[in-house]
Amino acid sequence: MNRPLSKLGLSPLQLATHLGALLPLALMLWDLVSGRYGAEPINEFTLRTGKTALVLLVLSLACTPINIVFGFKPVLRLRRPLGLYSFLYASIHFAIFVGVDYFFDLTLIWDALLRKRYALAGLSAGLILLALAITSTRGWQRRLKKNWKHLHRMVYAAGALVALHYIWLVKQGNMQVLQLQLQLNLQLE
């Protein structure tokens, strides 16, 4: 193994995963500061963070089937970082919704949650991802014992809610998201 990578404790695959997961954020920030977004930069940034969260969540869920089908065990070590990066992008997505779109006005946010089913699905998925991110450490695995595995199976519900969130948001059911949802469903089997 390359010496600098071994000092970081990362395999080349893990390093590529971290860099690949951070690249969309770097590109979004670059586009934001260089004025490359269109007439609605906040809307574009919100959509890009949401789509990236969804893609990373699906990739984290794909690790187990890849190991089962191809016997490629190193991919199993990518589940946690991919899931945490999905949570990172979902958190940014939520922060934009709450802070920029609704200016932290709890009355407006509550009204949006009651009126817009996509907002409620997104919040529900976000709360599941929050619980999974908090309990993703070895310490929580020891504390929760068998319950940890049961809790972390909720990631499939989060994936379904994220897909619903997006489908309901765009209303026409974007084919790209439907393909990701199909992949998620196949992974559940």
Dist CA 168 CA 80 (whole Å): 28
Could you tell me the residue range of the domain that residue 75 belongs to? Answer: 3-188
Average confidence (pLDDT) per 10 residues, the chain, 189 residues: 64 96 96 85 91 95 94 96 98 96 94 93 97 97 95 94 87 61 63
Q: Which of 74, 186, 91, 86 is nearest to 136 (CA)?
A: 86
**pLDDT at residue 181 in the model:** 64
How many domains does the chain contain in total? 1
At residue 35, the pLDDT reads: 85
Q: What is the pLDDT of residue 1?
A: 43
CB–CB of 179/53 below 8 Å? no
DSSP state of 145: T
Report helix angle 155-170 to 41-70, nearest 10: 140
**Residue pair 97/125 in contact by the 8 Å Cβ criterion:** no
Alpha carbons 173 and 182: distance in angstroms, whole number: 13
Collapsing DSSP to helix, strand or coil, 46 comes out as: helix
Q: Angle 79-95/117-134 helices, nearest 10 degrees?
A: 140
Give 175's contacts (C-beta < 8 A, 6+ positions apart): none
pLDDT of residue 167: 84
What are the DSSP calls for 85-135, one per residue? HHHHHHHHHHHIIIIIISTT-HHHHHHHHHH-HHHHHHHHHHHHHHHHHHT
C-alpha 163/C-alpha 181 separation (Å) is: 6
3-state secondary structure of 33: helix
* Nearest-angstrom CA–CA distance, 161 and 53: 12
pTM assigned to the model: 0.86
How is residue 114 written in tokens? 């009651």
What pLDDT is attached to residue 5? Answer: 59
